[in-house]
Amino acid sequence: MPIAKASHYRYVFLMIEDRIWTAALVIIGDEILSGRTQDKNISQIAIWLNIQGIRLSEVRVVPDVESAIVEAVNALRVRHDYLFTTGGIGPTHDDITVDAIAVALGVPVIVHPRAEQILRDYYETRGGLTEARLRMARVPQGAELIENRVSGAPGIRFDNIFIMAGVPSITAMMLDGLSGKIEGGRPMMSESLGCWVAESEVADLLRRTEQAHDGCQIGSYPFFRAGKVGANFVIRSTDHEQLSKCVVQLTEGLAELGYASEPGGISPTG
């Protein structure tokens, strides 16, 4: 009986350990959809989430249109552990994220007293808290603040939704303030091998090597540099030992086919 009990607990432990935490990201911004601004938030949020043990599983970029924001937020907040949004929380007329998310949640928008105080302090020596600036203290009722020291204006947390700034340097400060504060699982680890080979030459090797290592994924990312064909192979796993074995076997497999590989990968742009 004690043995069965121990075994039972070990099983539960493994179940918890292997839980995959996921997040979605909604980028709210006409400037991204017009091509004027090249997005930087997907990669910085993806990398930050991975360190927290959370996998970015889906991203949507939507225009500054209430119905589009409402639809994306309601679709994604229920099927991921966390939903992040960026953009549309400034003081101008095109900043409608808070109102749209309040509509999605079915709650009113209120002025958050602590946010108002933060803004009042911040703007005390910067021309005062105008009506436009007070807009940045508005939150869906029931929300908490995510403070940021760059611009005063806080981000907003409501349940599993994190409403962040769109300017990448401010987004980064808000992420920094959240580090270690939200629950995740085991981070996904990855190693890269770069190789001057057409990926089609080694497609079978990649497939076989991935299949031979449980829980490992091998991605193949071809590039063309100075008239030469190359590829980076990215091996990903939450299990360090499996990851190392997979990298060794892929390195050996490439060598057997006559291709040297470079640990860490090759820069596609030289």
Q: Which spans of this chain sit near its own copies (rule: CB under 8 A)?
A: 27, 30-40, 42-47, 50, 55-64, 68, 90-95, 126-127, 130-133, 135-136, 150-151, 167, 169-170, 188, 190, 198-201, 203-204, 206-207, 210, 217-224, 234, 236
Nearest residue to 173 (alpha-carbon basis) of 149, 207, 153: 149
**Encoding tokens for residue 98?**
């808070």
Give the list of residues 6+ apart from residue 76 with CB closer than 8 angstroms, or none: 24, 26, 58, 60, 83
Report the residue number, 145 or 229, with the smaller CB distance to its own copies.
229
Report the residue number, 107 or 234, with the smaller CB distance to its own copies.
234
Task: Report the nearest approach of its own copies to the CB of residue 46 (Å).
Answer: 3
- Return d(Cα 153, Cα 164) in angstroms, integer: 10
Report the residue number, 67 or 141, with the smaller CB distance to its own copies.
67
Report the residue number, 46 or 109, with the smaller CB distance to its own copies.
46
Task: Report the nearest approach of its own copies to the CB of residue 245 (Å).
Answer: 18
- Residue 192 · residue 234 · CB < 8 Å: yes
Task: Report the nearest approach of its own copies to the CB of residue 133 (Å).
Answer: 4
Task: Report the nearest approach of its own copies to the CB of residue 145 (Å).
Answer: 18
Which residues on neighbouring strands pair with residue 28, listed in sequence order? 62
Exposure string for 108-119, b = 16+ CB within 10 A, e = fewer: ebeebeebbebb
Report the residue number, 6 or 150, with the smaller CB distance to its own copies.
150
